[in-house]
Amino acid sequence: MSRPTGAWRHQPQPQRGLMWAASPAFRRQLVLLRSLLPCPSHSSVAAGFPSSTRCSSTFLRASHAMATSAGTVYEADAEAVVRRITPPLDRARHKGQAGKIAVIGGCREYTGAPYFAAISALKVGADLSHVFCTKDAATVIKSYSPELIVHPILEESYSVRDDEQASVSYNILTEVAKWMGRFDCIVVGPGLGRDSFLLDCVSNIIRHAREANIPTVVDGDGLFLVTNNLSLVAGNPLAILTPNVYEYKRLVQKVLNCDVDDETASDQLNTLCQKIGEVTIMRKGKADLISDGKTVTQVSIFGSPRRCGGQGDILSGSVAVFASWARHFILSSEQPIEKRVNPMTLGCIAGSLLLRKSASHAFEKNKRSTVTSDIIEFLGKSLEDICPAAY
């Protein structure tokens, strides 16, 4: 495995006369890149971070290109991101310090998706993983793994009388609120279904998470919910949307009132983020495009040609963990708030890389018979290959 040479690998080289054409953007990107540049300190060396100062000029060249090449998509050096934000294992740490994740989803028709997301969070390195689901789904999800903490508190409309809906909805939110402050990130949508009463209850949960400043990854049926009610995520810098090709198409049509244009994919994604306001969007595809309305990066290393269902659930659980780690890393830095890189973007980059590497390992072993559980099996190995668990 080669050593990283910078936080970003870029495509075109800018003209020298244009280097300072957009100095505010340049300074912001320079801060971003420096925040990922391993420092030659004792702690960074102990954690396995390279300390060579030879990387500095490469970082500067990359930042110049980002500041002056409008519309260009930059390949993230995702391995460097993973190494930088993954916390080292420390014998002094206690349970919960490596992350507490909650998945809001799971109904009688869909029990696999919330399980995949929640167990992936544990396999990546979170200490605790919760699932808030309907009563019909709870026993099934519990049977998949004793590692998950399952809360059978959600309800669908078929089990609630019309005159009881207001009180039941209040009780659900009250129960979730008891736990919300303990979570570092929540994932909304895997296996959620589209029952109207259940979606209304989850809308209240999203609003509460926002008020509590809890990062929120929205996937699956959660994207159906927010596409039809953009106020749930609009203006929330801690919201991450992870649409696939069909979910992205619906989102673009709803927000921009046009069709997806692959010729101007990066510009359109940036505009979409700006229109919604402050959210981070990862457009999943052959290459995952990630934008927070300011910059567009991509992760395009090849994963697997096998497109079995459930990989998006692995991604959402993984992104939740990495986003919580990145947020802690950024908040603990000494940089002024206005100069800090968006940790949600870093979480997306890291989660994308890990899924792709895990899918590659799984396909190498299982070929056409590869299923989602095979990919989950390789999450630990893939992270270990990138960031060995030395302590």
Q: Give the residue, 59 or 155, on which the prediction is more confident.
A: 155
Distances (CA, A) of 73 to 117, 221, 323: 28, 28, 21
N- to C-terminal Cα separation, the chain: 21
Mean pLDDT of all residues in 31-42: 43
Q: Which residues, 6+ apart, have CB-to-CB distance to 37 below 8 Å?
A: 6, 7, 55, 56, 59
User: Over the chain, what is the mean pLDDT?
Assistant: 85
- Binding residues, as ranges, are 191, 244-250, 284-288, 303-313
**pLDDT tens track for 53-64:** 233 333 223 333
| Confidence check: pLDDT of 7 > 50 | no
The pTM of the full predicted model, rounded to 2 decimals, is 0.83
Q: Are 115 and 94 in contact (CB under 8 A)?
A: no
Q: Which residues, 6+ apart, have CB-to-CB distance to 9 below 8 Å?
A: 62, 74, 75, 76, 77
The CATH architecture to which 100-386 belongs is 3-Layer(aba) Sandwich (3.40)
Please report, to the nearest 10 degrees, the dihedral formed by the alpha carbons of residues 60, 61, 62, 64 taken in order: 90
- Binding residues for ATP, as ranges, are 284-288, 303-312
Distances (CA, A) of 144 to 137, 151, 324: 11, 14, 25
Q: Lowest-pLDDT range, 67-76, 143-152, 287-296, 333-342?
A: 67-76
For residue 192, give the 3-state DSSP assignment: coil
CA-nearest of 274, 234, 266 to 70 is 266
| Confidence check: pLDDT of 12 > 80 | no
Mean pLDDT of all residues in 172-194: 97
- Binding residues for (6S)-NADPHX, as ranges, are 191, 244-250, 313
Domains of the chain by residue range: 8-72, 100-386
Give the pLDDT of residue 32: 52
| Confidence check: pLDDT of 26 > 50 | no
| CA atoms in the 13 A half-sphere facing the CB of 177 | 13
Q: Are 192 and 106 in contact (CB under 8 A)?
A: yes
Predicted confidence band at 185 (pLDDT cuts at 50, 70, 90)? very high
Q: Are 193 and 109 in contact (CB under 8 A)?
A: yes
Give the pLDDT of residue 47: 32
| Confidence check: pLDDT of 318 > 70 | yes
Predicted confidence band at 44 (pLDDT cuts at 50, 70, 90)? very low
Give the pLDDT of residue 287: 96
10 Å Cβ neighbour count for 334? 4
**pLDDT tens track for 71-83:** 578 898 999 999 9
Q: Lowest-pLDDT range, 30-44, 309-323, 377-391?
A: 30-44
Distance, CA of 146 to CA of 155 (rounded, Å) = 23
Give the pLDDT of residue 361: 98
Sheet harboring 185-188: ordered strands across?
8-9, 74-76, 296-299, 288-291, 280-283, 239-241, 216-218, 185-188, 100-104, 128-134, 149-154
